[in-house]
Amino acid sequence: MIQLSEIENLHLEFSTDCNARCPRCPRNYNGYPYNTGYIETHLTLEKVKALLPLPFVAQLKGILINGNYGDFIMNPESIDIISWFRAHNPTMVIDITTNGGARDKNFWEALVKFDPIISFCIDGLEDTHAIYRQNTVYETVIKNAQTFIAAGGRAVWTMTEFAHNLHQFEEAKSRAKEMGFAQLNRRPTNRDTGPVYDKQGNKIFELGGVGNYMPNKIDDEYCKTHPYKMMEHYRTVGVACEAIDQKSLYISAEGTIDPCCHVGMNKSDKAWWKGDADLRQGQHPTDLAGGMAWFGRIYETFGTAQQLSVCSRTCGKGERI
């Protein structure tokens, strides 16, 4: 088991607010704007300073700004927080993932001086991007990315693989090169099937052609009586833990600390994965020492009957049992 002094990377959730309505995101119900149980909040600079001692920040090799629910562009203190990290660690890698569909020219230009790598999630072209990235506009995302690139920023075009955009990868690759993106990443996903609903609850698409098990119209009452499930859970023999491999910790927008975002999604009032609440011994930790203790308790269960289902599902290796 790694020690706090060995932690090299942080995964940070800047916000649980988002301008998009991606249908397989747990912050809505298949695209329908229904809160699935998360708290709407932002990670504040004050909270970051309280959580992270400067010697700890100095030892980090990198931070990943992504998270479970929201997008960093929605946090009003995003630039202030990134500036604080860069001031206290000039060499760390700052890696940001975003839908890129909001904020103005000044925001995108201001980010450049902190030397982040920004992955813009652009899931297709004009006619396909917003099928999954609902509420975002292809032209707006491209404009923001080009503003960042023109100011000297390093940008990556990240394109998630869906059945409806597979035919566009070569065209996207060509456009990315012309626009000055450092590269285009093809990203496989396990969120490529299921229904897509609009704001009024009308089914408008079925990812992968799958989703006919859901009604053509839903409302709040339907969402309340049919709990949302991201995917089926299963148990496997052993775990190849990404948090251990990367020597990483995850900090949510609420300021809680977990080994990774997958475990961090399982909140105390919503035990989606069996065994979490008992093993955690209360609320998610809000300090580094508590976070490492929680990490240790999870580590001790790998390959045992106590092993968290979320660990099995996400990082499990071996035959299903």
CA–CA distance, 187 with 13 (Å, rounded to integer): 20
Give the pLDDT of residue 303: 80
Domains of the chain: 4-234+242-272 (3.20.20.70)
Give the pLDDT of residue 230: 59
Neighbouring C-beta atoms of residue 305, cutoff 10 Å: 8
Q: Tokens for 174?
A: 């060509």
Give the pLDDT of residue 271: 46
Give the pLDDT of residue 302: 85
E-assigned strands of the chain?
Answer: 9-12, 62-65, 93-98, 117-121, 154-160, 183-187, 194-197, 203-207, 248-251, 257-258
Report the relative pairing of strands 194-197 and 183-187 from DSSP bridges.
unpaired
Give the pLDDT of residue 50: 97
Pair 75, 14: CB distance under 8 Å? yes
Give the pLDDT of residue 25: 92
3-class DSSP state for residue 53? coil
Per DSSP, the residues of 221-265 read HHHHHS---SS----BS-B--HHHHHTEEEE-TTS-EESSHHHHT
Neighbouring C-beta atoms of residue 135, cutoff 10 Å: 16
Per-residue pLDDT tens listing for the chain (321 residues): 899 999 999 999 999 999 999 999 988 999 999 998 888 999 999 999 999 999 999 999 999 999 899 999 999 999 999 999 999 999 999 999 999 999 999 999 999 999 999 999 999 999 999 999 999 999 999 999 999 999 999 999 999 999 999 999 999 999 999 999 999 999 999 899 999 999 999 999 999 999 999 999 999 999 999 987 655 545 566 788 999 999 999 999 999 999 999 888 876 445 444 455 556 666 789 999 999 999 998 888 888 877 777 787 788 775 544
CA–CA distance, 4 with 240 (Å, rounded to integer): 20
Greatest pairwise CA separation for the chain in angstroms = 54
